[in-house]
Amino acid sequence: MAFLWLLSESDNDDAFFKACVERLTGKTLELVSRRLRRGGGLSELRSKSRILLGQIEHTGYVEETFFLIALDNDRSPVHPTHEQRSGLSKKERQKGCRYCKIDSLIQSILGERDQWPIPGAVAVPVEMLESWLLLICQGEKHRDEASLPPFARKDQPLAVCRRRGGIANS
């Protein structure tokens, strides 16, 4: 049996990331999930990551086991160029790169990547996971991530994917 330790923002995010990792690894994964409280953001991710990574460190190497820590970008600088999207508030322009912060946290607990007990990854969708669905479902309107609405929330009409008469909302 293969396992995926996953820290994300919702059940929908879990399903999406689990499907991606299963597709990439060719394995059926049992999910070991941790959830961020709605709106918890980076501060909650730090505390929950410490718990998750501490458990991984304590358990050590387990064959066919992986971890993924995922948090929407939510108008933070975009990695790796750290460019800012236009139309951001002063507070949002001061945010640091979420990918770099999460990667640094992992390294502070598990050490450098070659020291990690199991393979892992950081996922920071720009601007949010729903943006990826807009690129898929409305590709003619949104040619790349720069054309995506930076302030859409998953319950707003912009984040609802309508295609061939059906509705898909992450």
* Residue 97 sits in the same domain as residue 146: no
Rounded average pLDDT over 16-36:
90
Query: Any idea what the CATH number is for the domain that residue 75 is in?
Result: 3.40.1400
Instruction: Specify the 3-state DSSP secondary structure of 4.
Output: strand
Structural domain including 16 reads 2-126
pLDDT tens string 77-113: 778 787 776 666 777 777 888 999 999 999 999 999 9
pLDDT of amino acid 80: 79
For residue 69, the cross-strand partners are 7, 122
* Residue 98 sits in the same domain as residue 138: no
* Residue 60 sits in the same domain as residue 108: yes
Which CA distances in Å does 113 have to 17, 37, 64?
20, 28, 17
pTM for the model stands at 0.77
Report how far residue 4's alpha carbon sits from residue 19's, in angstroms, rounded to the nearest whole number: 11
**How many domains does the chain fold into?**
2
Of the candidates 102, 108, 144, 152, the one whose C-alpha atom is nearest the C-alpha of residue 127 is 152
* Residue 31 sits in the same domain as residue 115: yes
